[in-house]
């Protein structure tokens, strides 16, 4: 299959900020006396901020209002953003950067499709602020994965049809979103085991064999 564009999820694909998310949610949960551990944290992968908060609050005996939930989510995000400032270009692996450089050299248009509202901050910290041809993130969508909106926006920004784009994901919800939007999906980690994934990748560099030119 010949593609014109490749759309990457950010966290878990380009970089790894799971530990920062965990630390931020843990600090917020501890502050309100709600139990939270890494097993619960695994349920939050690929899930929006507010949906993640709802999962955490399942163990709370209190019913929180929408306003209270928004305040808690904002509190978590401020902790998370402070942690993100620890990131540097050294957190971008040579494998990822070299693979993307080669894909660019082959003429592919590259985009980010991430539900995170902190996408641009993360890209800046990694030294990738102006690297991608398009960025679709949590600031320009109303529905999180498994809704395909973030990928459809990315394809639109690239000026390409979904059928001409390959989505690279590490979360099952991301593959669901890709399929729902009419994209082919390349999966890393748990996404590689999804029954609807087009390509199961063992490493990021495997993209060079999938996207041949």
Do 140 and 65 lie in one domain? The reply is: no
What distance in Å separates the CA atoms of residue 70 and residue 145, rounded to the nearest whole number?
20
Do 112 and 162 lie in one domain? The reply is: yes
Do 169 and 101 lie in one domain? The reply is: yes
Q: How many helices (H) and strands (E) does the chain have?
A: 9, 6
CA distances from residue 68 to 54, 71, 76, 116, 158 in whole angstroms, order as listed: 12, 5, 12, 21, 38
Do 128 and 38 lie in one domain? The reply is: no
Give the global pTM. Answer: 0.86
Which 8-state DSSP code applies to residue 15? B
Beta carbons of 160 and 5 less than 8 angstroms apart: yes
Residues acting as catalytic residues = 9, 11
Would you tell me how many other CB atoms lie within 10 Å of the CB of residue 117? 16
Q: By C-alpha distance, which of 173, 165, 166 is closest to 148?
A: 173
Please report, for the domain that includes residue 29, its CATH number.
1.10.150.240
Strand blocks (E) in the chain:
5-8, 109-113, 134-136, 165-169, 184-187, 199-200
- Phi, then psi, of 109 in degrees rounded to 5: -90, 130
Q: Tell me which H or E stretch contains 52.
A: helix 49-56
Domain span holding position 157: 5-15+91-210
Going residue by residue through the chain, which has 213 residues, state the pLDDT in tens, using 9 for 90 and above: 689 999 999 999 999 988 899 999 999 999 999 999 999 998 887 677 899 999 999 999 899 999 999 999 999 999 999 999 999 999 999 999 999 999 999 999 999 999 888 999 999 999 999 999 999 999 999 998 899 999 999 999 999 999 999 999 999 999 999 999 999 999 999 999 999 999 999 999 999 999 875
Do 75 and 104 lie in one domain? The reply is: no
Question: Pick from 84, 106, 139: which residue ends a domain?
Answer: 84
Number of structural domains the chain divides into: 2
């Amino acid at each position: 299959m010949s593609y014109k564009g490749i759309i990457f999820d950010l966290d878990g694909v380009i970089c790894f900020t799971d530990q920062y998310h965990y630390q931020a949610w843990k600090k917020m949960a501890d502050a309100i006396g709600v139990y939270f551990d890494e097993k619960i944290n695994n349920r939050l992968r690929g899930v929006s901020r507010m949906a993640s908060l709802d999962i955490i609050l399942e163990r709370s005996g209190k019913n929180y209002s929408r306003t209270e939930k928004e305040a808690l989510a904002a509190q978590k995000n401020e902790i998370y953003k402070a942690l993100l400032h620890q990131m540097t270009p050294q957190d971008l692996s040579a494998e990822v950067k070299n693979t993307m450089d080669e894909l660019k050299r082959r003429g592919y248009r590259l985009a980010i499709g991430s539900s995170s509202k902190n996408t641009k901050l993360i890209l800046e910290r990694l030294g990738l602020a102006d690297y991608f041809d398009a960025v679709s993130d949590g600031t320009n969508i109303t529905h999180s994965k498994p809704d395909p909106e973030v990928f459809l926006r990315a394809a639109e920004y690239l000026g390409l049809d979904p059928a001409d784009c390959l989505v690279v994901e590490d979360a099952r919800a991301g593959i669901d979103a890709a399929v729902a939007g009419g994209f082919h999906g390349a999966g890393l980690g748990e996404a590689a085991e999804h029954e609807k994934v087009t390509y199961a990748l063992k490493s990021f560099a495997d993209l060079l064999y999938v996207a041949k030119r």
